[in-house]
Amino acid sequence: MNVFTRRLHEQLRQLDEQGLLRAVVPTQPLGDGRIQVGKKEYLNLAGNDYLGLGSNAALLRDFYAHLAAGDLLARYGAGSGASRLMTGSSSQQQLLEESLAQLYGTESALVFNSGWQLNTGILPALARKEDIVLADKLCHASLIDGLRLSAAKLIRYPHLDCEILEKLLRQHCGPSRTVFIVTESIFSMDGDCADLSLLAALKDKYGAVLYVDEAHAVGVRGERGRGLAEEQGVLEHIDLLIGTFGKAWAGQGAFAACSHLVRDVLVNTARSFIFTTALPPVSIHWLNFILPKITAMREERLWLVALAEKLRGGLRRQGLATGGSSQIVPVLIGDAARTVEAASLLREHGLWVNAVRPPTVPQGTSRLRLSLNAVLSAEQLSALPELIAEAV
């Protein structure tokens, strides 16, 4: 055994001792908020299919019912064959971006292959060495990696602390640099929400650029599912509004709603856009198919919020530590090994719940992350708070 192999074995051994060892588990969607793992069925409380569209068999049948020989490759092709700047950008891509711009009321939109590629591509393309990025301390890993790739100076302000953020804006804003404010709207591990109206006011006051990642809010919040920015009435104040298709949209890819100018710069400088094969036609066609349906799902959005609030109330009545104000409901436990054990006990009751541990969350804050979707009923979740209380 060479040095490299020994080192890897030791690394895995230490992770196991700390309760941080992870493994990939094959799952099979069953519909109605359920999944199959091995031969057992579970209620899925770990996924991000917030509206249940990804496991809606009737919707999939409708999508594939429109197969026609004349446009088989254009709409249902399994591969694009090239980057978008070569031959991989289709009329379906153009339709999607035009529809997104119209939906969000922006001049333009640009689609990337994933949220990770988008967040690791945009900020390095736009932020220069003399610039400053002020990012919420609990921003997602993809945002942090994008910021690390950027030449700009990164300052992470305390989570949701707009007083400190304003002090930093007052200190760093000036005519010789651009200052970016970077935040999620719904935070992926805590389920709490940013005050986008206050961030927009600070952005306008100090002449900053506001970058909002709405990955966990698009489809879920707002009258037409445009996210928390729509709900809080500040869509027109956000310079870069980021959304993903991989969660509530049940698809693949991500987008930035922005100005023509920003789009043109990104097409020419964002490496994660330029140097990758485009999404396959079938993925883009699905997004065009689902867009008008998403905007009309107001009742599902309202139910999802109500369901999450009901669950949070039940957890608190059991004396459990929870928080947030979204469809993401954390249950704070603290110790990683204890959290893993609690998740395992819940699976014995047919509930697929994952333990979220460092480095995904800070040390000492391991938690169960309950991720709800609109096809679940209150009855299905009624016993969950008591089961968690028994497990921890």
Catalytic residue annotation = 48, 140, 184, 188, 213, 216, 247
In angstroms, rounded to a whole number, what is the distance separating the alpha carbons of residues 152 and 177? 10
Alpha-carbon distance of 114 to 289, in angstroms, equals 19
- Name all contacts of 78-87 with Cβ < 8 Å and 24+ positions apart: 78/280, 78/282, 79/277, 79/280, 80/277, 80/278, 80/279, 80/280, 80/281, 81/277, 82/277, 82/278, 83/274, 83/275, 83/276, 83/277, 83/278, 84/273, 84/278, 85/267, 85/274
Q: Is 197 helix (H, G, I), strand (E, B) or coil?
A: helix
Q: How many CA atoms lie within 13 A of 223 on its CB side?
A: 6
Show Cβ contacts of residue 72 under 8 Å, excluding neighbours closer than 6 positions.
Answer: none
Secondary structure of 310-349 in HEC code, one letter for each residue = HHHHHHHHCCCEECCCCCEEEEEEECHHHHHHHHHHHHHC
Burial of 24 from C-beta contacts in 10 A (0-12 / 13-18 / 19+): exposed
Q: DSSP 3-state assignment of 353?
A: coil
Paired with 242 in beta bridges are: 213, 256
The one-letter code for the residue type at 35 is: I
- Secondary structure class of 276 (helix, strand, coil): coil
Cα–Cα distances (Å) from 351 to 43, 306, 346, in that order, read 5, 20, 5
Q: If DSSP codes are grouped into helix, strand and coil, which group holds residue 73?
A: helix
